[in-house]
């Protein structure tokens, strides 16, 4: 089984060793849980994370709050569309949201930990800065994707 990190920002452009990366906003990834408690909370977290990516380019602290990303498993031979969320993990240099949008994520992270789920650490891309940028849809998001 391959593991897919459901990444958030266009800056993620590098795949972790042994896996495939895809944008959390990518329509090819369903955001469906694997059916476990951790997967269900991870899928809920992913939905909140997509909302938390919105930012105000005029805000001095836009995209400065670091939060984990969703992790999904892809069956052998599958594609990102087959991914099933298994949990969440910290990834270096990605997962930045605006501080005023982080509270909903923090509440889900707390429930995730209370349920006995562990927030892991996953491989990440090269060091880079995340900025509030306009995406292809014309909206401002952390990372612009």
Mean pLDDT of 12-18: 31
Q: Quote the DSSP letter at residue 60.
A: T
- CA distance linking residue 123 with residue 132, whole number of Å: 23
Q: Using the CB atoms, write b or e for 113-141: b if 16+ within 10 Å.
A: eeeebebeebbbbeeeebbbbebeeeebb
CB 4 within 8 A of CB 21: yes
Could you read off the pLDDT of 94-144 as tens digits, one per residue?
999 999 999 999 999 999 999 999 999 999 888 888 899 999 999 999 987
Rounded to two decimals, the pTM is: 0.77
Angle at 90 between CA 7 and CA 12, to 5 degrees: 30
């Amino acid at each position: 089984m391959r593991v897919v990190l459901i990444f958030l920002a266009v800056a993620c452009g590098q795949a972790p060793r042994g896996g495939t990366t895809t944008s959390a906003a990518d329509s090819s990834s369903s955001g469906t849980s694997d059916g476990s408690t951790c997967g269900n909370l991870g899928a809920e977290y992913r939905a909140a994370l997509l909302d938390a990516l919105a930012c105000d380019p005029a805000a001095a602290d836009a995209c400065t709050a670091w939060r984990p990303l969703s992790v999904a498993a892809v069956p052998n031979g599958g594609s990102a569309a087959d991914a099933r969320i298994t949990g969440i993990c910290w990834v270096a240099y990605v997962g930045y949201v605006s501080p005023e949008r982080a509270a909903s994520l923090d509440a889900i992270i707390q429930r995730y930990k209370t349920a006995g789920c562990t927030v892991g650490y996953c491989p990440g891309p090269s060091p880079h800065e995340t900025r509030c940028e306009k995406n292809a849809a014309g909206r401002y998001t952390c990372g612009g994707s």
